Amino acid sequence: MVIKYNIGKNKYRNWIVGENDFQTEYLGKFETIFTLGNGYMGVRAATEETYREETRGCYIAGLFDKFPGEVTELANIPDWLNVDLKLDSEKFDLKTGKILSYQRQLNIKDGQLTRNIEWESPNGRKTKLSFERFMSLDNIHFTALKVKIIPL
């Protein structure tokens, strides 16, 4: 696991951290490092497709849950980032096929998390995928996820 620091240029110098390898054993660590939040809402940086090694979590400030005999904890809200992709009838899953390139970056200055992947499916189909997400500071109820899929 290698975290890349200082990969930003010009006005983004010292504002971008990233990773260049997809390793399931480090998903939990990067989920916390790349967490997004705006003071009202927060979301762990789990991948858009799901893996059993992840701990997904979306939270709202001040929303707690407690059952008898348990400690009060932040309650999870519905996961709005879970995207189940099928590309030419094949499920998009980085644990299958071949990762040709992988990059995930958090721009701390703009609060944007991006992930760019070139993936070859088990059947040999090559695809470029781009995921971008952010949470607005101006409108605390507004979040966005943009997914771009390009066949190669």
Residue pLDDT, tens place only, 100-124: 999 999 999 999 999 999 999 999 9
Res. 76: pLDDT tops 70:
yes
- Separation in Å, CA 84 to CA 47, 97, 116: 11, 16, 17
CATH architecture of the domain covering 14-151: Distorted Sandwich (2.70)
Res. 32: pLDDT tops 90:
yes
- Separation in Å, CA 120 to CA 44, 95, 146: 27, 11, 21
Res. 8: pLDDT tops 90:
no
The sign of the CA dihedral 35, 37, 43, 47 is negative
Residue 9: band (very low, low, confident or very high) from pLDDT cuts 50, 70, 90: confident
Phi, psi of 89 (to 5 degrees): 70, 10
Read off the pTM: 0.90
Domain ranges within the chain, ordered by starting residue = 14-151
The pLDDT assigned to 1 comes to: 65
Res. 78: pLDDT tops 80:
yes
